[in-house]
Amino acid sequence: MSTSTARFTHLNPGFICENCQREVQPLKVGCRNHCPFCLHSKHVDRFPGDRDNPCQGLMEPIAYEFNGKKGLTLVFKCKECGGMGKNKAAHEDEVQADSYELILKLNKPKS
């Protein structure tokens, strides 16, 4: 992955969660775009990581998926525009792990 050619390839700042107002630290590996405490995200990407979406709506976690390659993935739905998004769960992060309890309360995978 390059950090110089694409503008937003490696943007990975911490942020304040707009749902629960807690401070979220950046991930050491990968791009966190959801809150580990309440699992809410923000509609900022048109494609994962591009931060190019003008919507900026709050995204509610609605389900999780389990994929052999990617592992645990959360599925979000935007409260503003209804758009869907996915993000890899960070429940194994050393600094601020996603709440596994909350993840398991979401809709279970269908398969």
Residue 58 CB, shortest distance to Zn ion, in Å, is: 9
Residue 19 interacts with Zn ion (CB under 5 A): yes or no: yes
Amino acid identity at 44: V
Tokens 């791009």: give the residue: 31
Residue 42 interacts with Zn ion (CB under 5 A): yes or no: no
Q: How far is CA 111 from CA 32, 65, 73, 102, in A?
A: 26, 9, 14, 20
Helices (H) and strands (E) in the chain, counts: 1, 6
Residue from 34, 42, 43, 88 touching Zn ion (CB under 5 A): that is 43
Residue 66 CB, shortest distance to Zn ion, in Å, is: 23
Asked if 36 and 93 touch (Cβ cutoff 8 Å), the reply is yes
Tokens 């048109």: give the residue: 46
Residue from 27, 31, 35, 74 touching Zn ion (CB under 5 A): that is 35
Window of 17-25, 44-52, 67-75, 89-97 that interacts with Zn ion by CB under 5 A: 17-25
Q: Which of residues 64-83 bind Zn ion (CB under 5 A)?
A: 78, 80-81, 83
- Return d(Cα 52, Cα 74) in angstroms, integer: 20
Q: Which residues bind Zn ion (CB under 5 A)?
A: 17, 19-20, 35, 37-38, 43, 55, 57, 78, 80-81, 83
